Structure 1
Amino acid sequence: MPAAARITHIALHVTDMAACVAFYRQFCGMQLIHERHSHTQTISWMAEPGRERDFIFVLMNGGQDLRLPDNDYRHFGFALKSRDAVDDIAQQAADAGCLVWAPRDEPFPVGYYCGLRDPNGNYVEFSYGQPLGPGAEDFDRLQEGSPN
């Protein structure tokens, strides 16, 4: 049996580094944890607080803008602690002009979610009620029939 592998990062080429760093700070709460420059290359590492050694986004300049149709569901997924938090992110995104999918409910295991477009065209989902990340414990309690 091969050794167990664990995902540690996703690397993305982006056209506007500053805009992408600002987006992932504002909407995802990620922090810039490393940045380096060499010649024409800039590489930025971003992580959620406390997950700097677990999972990061590596942003590299020199990409092309993506032009995904609204019904293309490839995305990065972030879990939130409540439906209200999904609604709040969706409202912020609508105000910023980057909301792609308004909040909606889907059957298990999808839950309640909305989708945003980052400055490079990647889609970012914010969800509540999936059996992953924050809010998963609430889902588990509901499945077991416990109100608390």
Structure 2
Amino acid sequence: MVSLTHLALHVPDLDACIAFYEEFCNMRVVSERPGKGSRIVWMAEPGKEKSFVFVIMPGGQSRQLAENDYSHFGFALDGREAVDVIAARAQAAGCLIWSPRQDGFYTGYYCGVRDPAGHYVEFSYGQPLGPGAEEMPAP
């Protein structure tokens, strides 16, 4: 058996990234230890602490993604309204990159936000995974 358990990222400003993932992604610090010249932090969504974490540590360079680069982390939300709320908060914070939009079956309704390290983060509803997936008819 193989299971995806974590994603590890070097970031230029550890505290800014912790604050971003707490505010926008409902993630919490679940472990913190010394390392990499400062500290290494594990963050997870409530209830998923033993199944998947972001490991973030200092020392990274800010990512400068091209406008047509859609590399991103994806978070599913429980409705279109939740996508709109995240987009409005991101707009106010100056980090909205994709305004809310509806696309096809695999994309659903989504918006995109830039984290303090330059990573793109997608917030979606209506994809064939995450909340609402069981209501999705096959394409």
Question: TM-score higher than 0.5 here?
Answer: yes
Deviation at 1:70, TM superposition (A): 2.6
Shifted more, 92-101 versus 64-73: the winner is: 64-73
Q: Is contact 2:9–2:57 with CA below 8 Å preserved after alignment?
A: yes
Letter in 2 for 1:55: F
Deviation at 1:41, TM superposition (A): 3.1
Asked if 1:76 is matched to 2:70, the reply is no
Report which of the two structures shows the higher radius of gyration computed on alpha carbons: 1
Matches within 5 A, 1:1-148: 4-38=1-35, 40-139=37-136, 143=137
Letter in 2 for 1:8: T
Letter in 2 for 1:127: S
In structure 1, list runs of 5 or more residues that go unmatched. Answer: none
SS at match of 1:90: helix
Distance of 1:68 and 1:10 partners within structure 2? 19
Percent of aligned positions with the same letter in both sequences? 59
Letter in 1 for 2:38: Q
Deviation at 1:38, TM superposition (A): 3.8
Per-residue CA shift, 1:45-86, capped at 9, x if unaligned? 000000000000000100000011232100000000100100
Task: Give runs of ≥4 in structure 1 deviating > 6 Å.
Answer: none
Per-residue CA shift, 1:78-108, capped at 9, x if unaligned? 0001001000000000000000100111111
What CA RMSD, in Å, does the superposition of the two structures yield over aligned residues?
1.3
Q: TM-score, normalised by structure 1?
A: 0.89
SS at match of 2:70: coil
Q: TM-score, normalised by structure 2?
A: 0.95
Letter in 2 for 1:112: Y
